[in-house]
């Protein structure tokens, strides 16, 4: 893994952004997309594994800001232009604190805040809703489900298995576990992350890293951080690409159906994949935002 001058890249970034100073002295980077006039509603995007906030500009943020919504995209600690060891998270408590501070910042900029979690960001989004319910007015989950398509994750080599066991047992904070799946993007982007620590998985999924590996192998994500302890009291929108490489429309619909919420909607995005969405994909999402908020 090449060393990246995160602080230098962050200092030279000229686009709209916010900086969140954490209670343990780190800086989190939050991109902004500003609409033409002061927004009444903002959307906070929480990115998927390996990624960061930047690619969500052309993916969705540009369209949302053009429709009049304020948009923020947080780079998780150890990702993008945020401080922290690449591919590591110190603890679940630290993740909650980072998300809470970022939610508070985004909510301070407009009257209402909707959190959007994409892929692994669905876990972050659920954690955020549980941690800061007073600040979050709506939830969008994209490209996520409990059941994974067969064959998405290749069978690991014997060397990879040994490295994984070594990382879980002895190097919990060292990013030695390579993330690989069919169709992954960002291979030519130095800000993407492809190696993770055992405690990163433990923090995001809320269970031990070996259990996470078992979930991915078995194709069923049984994470407490993808569940709500009580009825969800805010509007929920769940969407999935018609050609999503990880999750079928049926699996995403089953995930949506399993959430106890009186105000929820589900939609399938024609021609979309896990992290690729054709022009015009966001009409239903923009309409939902306009209707609900």
Phi, psi angles (nearest 5°) of residue 32: -130, 145
Handedness of CA 166, 172, 176, 179 (dihedral sign): positive
Residue 1 has a pLDDT of 44
- Helix 92-107 crosses helix 198-205 at what angle (to 10 degrees)? 60
Taking a C-beta distance cutoff of 8 angstroms, is the pair 143, 274 a contact?
yes
What is the residue-level pLDDT of the chain in tens, covering all 293 positions? Answer: 457 899 999 999 999 999 999 999 999 999 999 999 999 999 999 999 999 999 999 999 999 999 999 999 999 999 999 999 999 999 999 999 999 999 999 999 999 999 999 999 999 999 999 999 999 999 999 999 999 998 887 666 656 655 666 666 666 788 888 888 777 888 889 999 999 999 999 999 999 888 888 888 889 999 999 999 999 999 999 999 999 999 999 999 999 999 999 999 999 999 999 999 999 999 999 999 999 99
pTM, 2 dp: 0.94
**Which residue intervals of the chain are DSSP H helices?**
6-11, 56, 62-66, 92-107, 121-131, 158-169, 198-205, 209-218, 249-257, 283-292
Neighbours of 227 (CB within 10 A): 14
How many whole angstroms separate alpha carbon 97 and alpha carbon 105?
Answer: 12
CB-based burial, 94-124: b 16+ in 10 Å, e otherwise: bbbbbbbbbbebbbebbebbbbbbbbbbbbb
Taking a C-beta distance cutoff of 8 angstroms, is the pair 132, 62 a contact?
no
Domain coordinates in residue numbering, the chain: 6-152+229-292
Q: What CATH number is given for 6-152+229-292 in this structure? A: 3.40.50.1820
Task: Report the helix count and the strand count for the chain, using DSSP H and E.
Answer: 10, 10
Helix (H) or strand (E) holding 117: strand 112-118
Beta strand extents in 165-241 (DSSP E only): 177-178, 195-196, 236-241
């Amino acid at each position: 893994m090449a060393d990246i001058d995160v602080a230098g890249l962050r200092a030279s970034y000229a686009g709209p952004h916010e900086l969140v100073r954490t209670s343990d002295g780190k800086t989190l980077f939050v991109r902004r997309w500003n609409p033409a006039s002061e927004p009444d509603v903002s959307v906070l995007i929480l990115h998927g594994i390996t990624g960061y906030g930047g690619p969500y500009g052309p993916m969705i943020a540009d369209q949302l800001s053009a429709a009049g919504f304020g948009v923020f995209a947080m780079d998780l600690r150890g990702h993008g232009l945020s401080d922290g060891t690449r591919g590591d998270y110190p603890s679940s408590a630290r993740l909650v604190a980072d998300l809470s501070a970022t939610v508070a910042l985004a909510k301070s900029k407009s009257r209402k805040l909707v959190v959007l979690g994409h892929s692994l960001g669905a876990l972050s989004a659920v954690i955020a809703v549980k941690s800061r319910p007073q600040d979050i007015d709506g939830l969008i989950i994209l490209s996520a489900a409990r059941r994974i398509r067969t064959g998405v994750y290749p069978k690991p080599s014997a060397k990879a298995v040994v490295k994984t066991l070594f990382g879980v047992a002895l190097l919990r904070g060292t990013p030695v576990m390579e993330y690989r799946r069919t169709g992954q993007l960002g291979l030519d982007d130095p800000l993407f992350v492809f190696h993770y620590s055992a405690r990163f998985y433990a923090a995001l999924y809320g269970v031990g890293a070996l259990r996470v590996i078992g979930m991915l192998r078995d194709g069923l994500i049984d994470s407490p951080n993808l569940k709500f302890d009580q009825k969800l009291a805010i509007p929920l929108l769940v969407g999935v690409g018609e050609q999503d490489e990880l999750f079928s429309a049926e699996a995403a619909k089953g995930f949506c159906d399993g959430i106890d919420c009186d105000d929820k909607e589900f939609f399938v995005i024609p021609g979309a994949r896990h992290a690729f969405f054709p022009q015009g994909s966001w009409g239903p999402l923009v309409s939902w935002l306009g209707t609900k908020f």
